[in-house]
Chains A and B, each alone.
Chain A
Amino acid sequence: MNVERQTVRSQLREHKRLTLYSIIGTVVHFLLLLYFIFDEQEPLIYYNIVALSCWLYCFYFLRKKDYYRIAILTSLVMLIQLNLVTILYGTESGVLMGLWPLACIFVINTRTRMVAGTVFASVCLISFILLSLYAPVSTEDGFIPGSLEIFILVTGAIMVSAVMSIKSAFRARRNKMIYIANHDTLTGLKNRRFFTTFIAHRQDVIRREGTRFCLALGDIDHFKQINDQHGHQMGDAVLVAIAACFREISAQSDVICRWGGEEFLIFIPESDISMAYPVLEAIREVISDQNIDGINTTISFGVVESDGSEALDELFKAADLLLYKAKQSGRNRVEYE
């Protein structure tokens, strides 16, 4: 659910950004149109009227949320504009430098396809080379003086900010993926995938250091009944509340994992049974005292101690046996070897 909300938020941000771009594009083309009318550059006047209508058309695409068309249309408009201005005013105007940021932004835009990106970048590159080698350096109608430097700075700054924002989105998405891969979505505890790799790695370290650790397997008592009597939503609420208890009481260095439906595994480093037992007792007590929306739940634990020489499977089996014993002897208790 959280992921969906995040996606919606990022889409909203994209929508806002594209609206801003469309407004800027429209204004810039309008100003350019005025300049070309003043400068009596006939082909450019006609072209800019077309370009202006394209930019205005973008608002229609924005309403339809068709971001792909916006990217393609505006990029093509700008590509032709840059080429025309360079041919008519000469390479001295420096407008052709804008082809670089244009190609970069088009390529990195995730809305466009790879093939489209390749084709567009190649067209930009080829037209840049041809223009700089064969277009006239300067014509009699001079462009705004100093336009080359200004153009480089402005388009370059746009490119830097675009690339940086893409990079931060990229990082955020990667981090989120790593989080999702290692956590249980409902309770936010670690998931099984993470726990198995973590333990395998940790056991190596523990063996080398010569310390001991405890592994506790907890199972909510009569959880099936909660689900059946009060519905799944209630069951989920109970799981979340119990996960919160775990997180609150256990130490920072403990690793808590939701192993299966209502089963939890707790890894308690650098401790033996005598140290782990009070912690688990405390958790058990808090949970049995707690009232979650009118439901009283209890939990049973089976806890084993290890020096890192047994595999996780064996440890788990031993803990499961102890848990079974706890369940047999009346539930709501911590059973150890």
Chain B
Amino acid sequence: MNRLLSSTIPEMFKGFSEPPRVISEEDYPDFYGIVVSALNGILVNLILLIIFVIEGGYFLASLSITGIIFWLTAMRFAYSGHFSAAIFVGMFEMMFHVGVVVSVIGLAYGGQLILWASIAYAAFSYHKNKMITRIVSYACLIEMAALYAFVPQFTEFTAFENYREFIFVLLTLCSAIPLMTVLMFIKSVQIRDRKQLQNHANFDPLTGLFNRGFFDTLLEYDRDTLSNGGGPFCVCLADIDYFKKVNDEYGHDVGDEVLIEVANIISGNLRKSDAVCRWGGEEFAIILRRCDMSDGPQVIQKIRKTIASKVLSSAEIKVTMSFGLILAEQDEATDALIKRADRLLYTAKENGRNQLVSG
């Protein structure tokens, strides 16, 4: 017991702003929910304790002290990663405490409203066992309905008459504000996750360019707009020359750096309306929109010259790139487009690399 206390109290003060190491990022929402509700429970109990002591409700005051101890235990469980245990301790405290207090002082003080928060916490704490979650949350729900059915608004216990409105507002706020904070937090995490998932689906993680799946979609879209009377567009395949050597000689880290820098140079030299993707290991694919054979080659030549002239990565090496550029034709399949560009790229490699072949 002594050890429990000596480790609980410092831990409690240490970790309010940041979670302790045992909590993985995955569990952080659960952890956050418990800590907020525990802090809130302790605060409410402290305020009520003061009122109860002043007005002479010693039985209720002792209940508040028990409540504080329960919440501290819940917090201790949360910090050691036992979320289910923490939630059950908290739930039990809420249900028991609210039940007793409301039956003694009546519904008019709003104590039963705390149960709304516990219903939401219980429902959200669902990990694997749906049944237990349902039982706990419906138990809270039924308890609240039962309190409304059987407890009168006012009882003979009239010591707190003067504080009625204050206690009502206090308890309502103490139920609603932490509840809403936790829900908001969960929502923000969820929105962030959804965005990240979309990024994973559409972008290459290393270079931040589009990935192949998304590029295919773009290409199909452009082809369709072309056959519906859109402007001409060019497709270019690009490949870093002798990239395998870079990897072998300088290691994969340098290889990755080179890829990132090349990707930046390419996307930096394109207009906003163009699109570039990482097609494969060291291959890139580019769509130049509203562009034909009069200005397409100029853009690509500029990229080629920039890459050939720049010293790249921490190993300070130079690489060159070969390009195959084509003008998209009406109603051409995307596969055929890419194949044509690939053939030109192959010619560029055959002719000695570091050059653009267009056709």
Residues on A close to B: CB < 8 A? 1, 3-4, 7, 94, 100, 103-104, 107-110, 114, 117-118, 121, 125, 128-129, 132-133, 137, 148-149, 152-153, 156-157, 159-160, 163-164, 166-168, 170, 173-174, 176-178, 180, 227-228, 231-232, 235, 259-262, 313, 317, 320, 324
Contacts and interface: CB of A to CB of B under 8 A. Distances in A.
A234 B282 CA distance: 17
A4 B201 contact: yes
Nearest to A151: B145
Contacts of B213: 1, 4
B324 to A, nearest CB: 12
B141 A118 contact: no
Given A157-B141, A164-B133, A110 B124 contact: no
Nearest to B253: A313
Interface residues of B, number: 59
Contacts of B201: 3-4, 7
Contact of A100 (B116, B134, B138, B281): B116
7 contacts: A108-B183, A149-B148, A153-B141, A159-B120, A163-B123, A173-B193, A261-B282
B169 A152 contact: no
Contact of A125 (B110, B176, B196, B281): B176
B103 to A, nearest CB: 16
Contacts of A159: 119-120, 123
B247 A260 contact: yes
A104 B181 CA distance: 10
B193 A177 contact: yes
A167 B120 CA distance: 11
Given A157-B138, A160-B138, A261-B280, A104 B110 contact: no
Contacts of A149: 145, 148-149
Nearest to B188: A114
Interface string B168-191: 110011001001100110111111
Nearest to A161: B123
Contact of A128 (B172, B189, B198, B279): B172
Given A156-B141, A160-B138, A3 B200 contact: yes
A107 B180 contact: yes
A52 B252 CA distance: 64
Nearest to B127: A171
A100 B140 CA distance: 14
A177 B197 contact: yes
Contacts of B144: 152, 156
Nearest to A232: B280
Contacts, number: 138
A4 B248 CA distance: 36
Interface in B327-359: 335, 339, 342, 346
A166 B130 CA distance: 13
A170 B342 CA distance: 43
B134 A160 contact: yes
Contacts of A103: 176, 180
B119 A156 contact: yes
A121 B177 CA distance: 9
The residue among B110, B144, B187, B196 with the most chain A CB atoms within 10 A of its own CB is B187
B142 interface: yes
Nearest to B173: A125
B126 interface: yes
B196 to A, nearest CB: 6
A129 to B, nearest CB: 6
B14 interface: no
A101 to B, nearest CB: 8
The residue among A163, A176, A228 with the most chain B CB atoms within 10 A of its own CB is A163
A163 B184 contact: no
B152 to A, nearest CB: 12
A96 to B, nearest CB: 11
A227 B180 contact: no
Nearest to A124: B176
Given A4-B201, A177-B193, A177-B196, 15 more contacts: A7-B201, A94-B148, A107-B187, A110-B194, A114-B184, A148-B148, A149-B148, A152-B145, A156-B144, A160-B122, A164-B130, A167-B124, A174-B26, A231-B335, A232-B280
Contacts of A107: 180, 183-184, 187
B186 A152 contact: no
Contacts of A324: 248
A166 B191 CA distance: 12
B207 to A, nearest CB: 14
Contacts of B145: 149, 152-153
B165 interface: yes
A132 B110 contact: yes
Rank and list the top 7 A-B pairs by shortest CB-CB distance, nearest first. A261-B281, A163-B123, A156-B141, A149-B145, A3-B201, A100-B116, A160-B123
Contacts of A4: 201, 213
Contacts of A125: 172-173, 176, 180
B119 A160 contact: yes
